[in-house]
């Protein structure tokens, strides 16, 4: 990572947060204490910025300059708010189509999913503030530039995002191998959101239980699961197929 993509020094990071600079995450030395450190955490309170406590050696790997135990990573994009996206889509006379990523941390998978979302006309992709992939240069490259145009919403939690979508009239479907329902047996012709989970753990239980339904992609081989970006593409384009068929029917 280039030094112009980082901010280091406690005071500089505090000022960047107060100036509403788009920050992806902040690394803080594990034993950092003092008045300035307290001020930093006071400023961070209530934000969605991810903070990681790390050893001094990890910080030193990023820069040889005096970082004072704090390095902030500038986001490669400007995040948007889900609460702004949904009303905007409705005002255009369209049904929202949202993809949420619960615990996806692989940059290449994220970039590939974003690329599919942009091609399919998805209105936004949602990631949580913690335990998620960052939108960095590698993600943008893998997305073939899709992340420059596709709205990305970083919300406090996927659980809160699901509840907001449901309150906004959006049906939320979670992809899960535990599901009884085949993904082709669901009608996605209204406001729709799909939740995709990490490849190792899937969608978390606390999120599965509040979704409107669980859906699965049938598998007949010996490997346990599809790659998450491939599974996302299959589900996203099933929504597209159904919506296109609905439009053709209404116009006939």
pTM check: above 0.75: yes
Distance (Å, whole) CA 8 – CA 247: 52
What's the CA dihedral at 19, 25, 31, 33 to 10 degrees?
10
Q: Per DSSP, which regions of the chain are E strands?
A: 6-8, 23-29, 50-54, 70-74, 97-102, 124-128, 152-155, 171-175, 181-182, 192-197, 213-216
pLDDT class of 250 with cuts at 50, 70, 90: confident
The pLDDT score that the predictor gives to residue 26 is 93
Q: Find the mean pLDDT for residues 112-131.
A: 95
The pLDDT score that the predictor gives to residue 243 is 93
144, 186 contact by CB (below 8 A): no
| C-alpha angle 71-151-234 in degrees, rounded to nearest 5 | 110
Half-sphere exposure (Cβ direction) of 186: Cα atoms closer than 13 Å:
27
144-172 pLDDT, tens digit per residue, is 999 999 999 999 999 999 999 999 999 99
Q: Say which residues have a Cβ less than 8 Å from residue 23's Cβ, sequence separation at least 6.
A: 7, 16, 17, 49, 72, 73, 74, 75
Distance (Å, whole) CA 163 – CA 177: 22
pLDDT surpasses 70 at 3: no
Helix (H) or strand (E) holding 67: none
Q: Say which residues have a Cβ less than 8 Å from residue 194's Cβ, sequence separation at least 6.
A: 98, 99, 100, 172, 173, 174, 175, 232, 235, 236, 239
Distance (Å, whole) CA 154 – CA 25: 12
Regarding predicted confidence, which is higher, 238 or 75?
Answer: 238
44-64 pLDDT, tens digit per residue, is 988 888 898 999 999 999 888
């Amino acid at each position: 990572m280039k030094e112009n993509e980082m901010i280091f020094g406690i005071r500089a990071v505090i000022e960047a947060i107060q100036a509403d600079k788009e920050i992806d995450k902040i690394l803080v030395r594990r034993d950092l204490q003092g008045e300035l450190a307290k001020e930093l955490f006071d400023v961070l309170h209530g934000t969605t910025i991810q903070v990681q406590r790390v050893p001094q050696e990890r910080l030193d790997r990023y820069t040889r300059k005096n970082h004072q135990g704090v390095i902030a990573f500038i986001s490669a994009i400007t995040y948007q708010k889900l609460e702004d996206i949904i009303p905007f889509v409705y005002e255009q006379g369209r049904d929202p189509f949202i993809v949420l990523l619960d615990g996806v941390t692989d940059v290449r998978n994220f970039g590939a999913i974003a690329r599919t979302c942009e091609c399919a006309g998805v209105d936004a992709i949602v990631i949580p503030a913690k335990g998620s992939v960052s939108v960095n240069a590698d993600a943008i490259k893998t997305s073939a530039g899709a992340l420059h145009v596709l709205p990305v919403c970083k919300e406090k939690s996927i659980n809160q995002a699901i509840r907001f979508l449901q309150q906004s009239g959006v049906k939320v479907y979670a992809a899960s191998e535990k599901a009884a329902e085949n993904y082709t047996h669901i009608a996605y012709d209204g406001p729709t959101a799909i939740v995709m989970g990490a490849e190792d753990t899937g969608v978390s239980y606390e999120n599965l239980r509040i979704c409107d339904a669980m859906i699965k992609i049938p598998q007949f081989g010996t490997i346990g699961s599809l790659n998450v970006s491939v599974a996302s593409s299959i589900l996203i384009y099933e929504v597209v197929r159904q919506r296109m068929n609905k439009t053709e029917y209404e116009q006939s």
